[in-house]
Structure 1
Amino acid sequence: MIGRPDPEMRRYEMTRRNYVLSYTTPGASGLWDPEIVLGYGVTELAVPEPFGSDGETSSLSLKFANNLHLSPRSVIAVGTDVYRDRASYAEPDTSEVREQITNVGAFAQARLQPLDPLRLSAGLRADRQEFEGLDGTEFDDSGLSGNVSIAYDITDALTLTAAASNVWGGITLAENFILNPAWEYDPIDPVRARSQTVGFVYETGPFSLDGRVFRTDFDNAREASWRGGPSETIDFRSEGYSLGAGYRWAQGFARLSYTDSEISVDGDSTSSYTIRAHGAPLGRIFNLELAYWLAPIDVMLGGTLEAALKIKIPWTPARPLEAYEVVNVYAEYRRAGWMG
């Protein structure tokens, strides 16, 4: 920010580790098809100069679910999960400060196909969360979430889709580097998100077309700030549309997509800085991916091109975010019989 005594360039060091242990029963049928997943992830972000500071976010989770196969085309998944997330910050000459949450949830998700052209999905989830602030303040909250989606085949080539969800998100952890030992907590309202999307998929032979319109409203998204305190929240909306086209052949595929989206706070356009804790205004982005399968050597070669168009930043109209491009290339070796 202008006026702060920060260096023009600052070096960050980030280390990320993720571990997952899972148990499944591939090919299972009937009413017993268990799934167990144990996961642990930790991200460390350090600023060696000028503070020697270190922020760490970790998550430990356990999930148990069982899939009830009512028929080859209708499955109900039921289960429970628990996770513990922790965000901490430390400097060499100060004590560590941290926030943490413990969440226990139960869920059921049904994926049904009552008719050949109709596919339905609906789910319900209940959560209980315990939040602990850096000064020992505790909040207990609970909430319900639900979702429903539908896909209907108008013809063998054309499918219409629609989905909606209402999700309770509890209290989210603050960003490591804004944790302030002087914070005093007022009650924090848990975040809730409401999403709707409508779209279509058209496939004929090797060609495909798809599109969708989407909108998500967030209520009480936590907007903690170092000076402003830990209990601020905002309401914002993300909305837009996407279009895509693809072509597949025996040795590969090509796909082009376009997305136009924006974020608004209280109905007004906003800057990437204002919404920095929740995402970024993506604007208008083209994506192109090409891939080719070299069967004699079991290698897939491919590349992606992402091109973002210029965005005008509302609070600084003279300083738009210039267009940019990102290019990636990859090679993937798939030995026959090695992949499940």
Structure 2
Amino acid sequence: MQCPRCNWQNHASYTQCFSCQAPLVADMPAPRAPAGRGQPAQTPAPARLVEVFPGTMARLGATLIDGACMAAFPVALALAWVFARPAFDSAPGATYPAALALGILGLFLPALMDALGQGSAGKRLLGMRVATRTGERPGIARSVLRHFLKYSLTLALTLAVPFLLHRLLTALFGERGLHSSITGTFVVSRHASDTAIQQAVALVRGPGWFLKALVMLGGVAALSFAAMVAVALWHQGEEPANPRREAVRQLDGAARTVLGLVENHYRSTGAFPASAAAIGLGRPGQLPTGFQAMAIDPANGVVRLTIADSSGDRALAGKHLVYTPVLRTRKQQTDIHKWQCGSDDIVRGDRSFSCRHEATGAAK
């Protein structure tokens, strides 16, 4: 069959030109109605097959749209965390796993939409979807693996050496790409029927088992290397165990109750409290466990808490945690944005990471 665009001679069963990927017009034989007496048999007109596979530019556009959506989700999550951070400062251990889970869910949201819906945002906008050889939607596991291969191995290799590796991947896996070839999926037109998809994909050959095994081994090796680097960087920032530092971390958590009272007073009056009695902590025993005295500078709001003997570490008794407020003005209203924790008499190595700011001598 000759291509009307580039005149390439294709096999009679091809629906697209092997050279330029243009759709081919095939003569589709249809059942003929029995000819009556004196009535000649009618020859059916050639029918045009539905274009099943979208072009490269359309698939690239869908990838860019999906990538923009994936980038927007972590940005929105980070902004939400910035605005809601004061409410979760007292329990960061419960919020970090939730934020990480939401971030991972956002990155794999296009894959879930391909598996459970009518396609990701980019594919739906451009009239495409992901299908298997039977025309059905891929399962969650296959779709997630396809998404991971697409935005990790394929994208990373293509960005590393743009022209050479793109040509190499195209020669090995065709226009489908590594991610679709390995997972046995196809990006097809959303308007194509299952029958048309099955007829079109029957002509497409997939990679052999050796190439699939090679890619999977390469992916496992890349993941292992990335995990080793992440673990090395994570443990690099850790310090040896220090019971005194853990005691300071617990005292810092207990002090957040006092800081919350100071914030409420500043929010309602527009000024820092003059003393501990102004926020209801003037009598003995009203301070949080581990502290025996409190002083506050009404000029700048610096809070100085004296550690008691019951703190769990007698070496910390009589020493201090100093909290300096950081103000923020929004919509002509000034509020306490966060507190910087420090100390002027506790060794820096004995303080937790969140309590290593330089403390002033105010509020003594």
Instruction: Tell whether the structures are fold-level matches, with TM greater than 0.5.
Output: no
Higher helix proportion: 2
Please give the TM-score of this superposition, normalised by the length of structure 1: 0.19
Higher RCO, Cα 8 Å, sep 6+: 2
Higher strand proportion: 1
Pair member with larger Rg: 2
Please give the TM-score of this superposition, normalised by the length of structure 2: 0.18
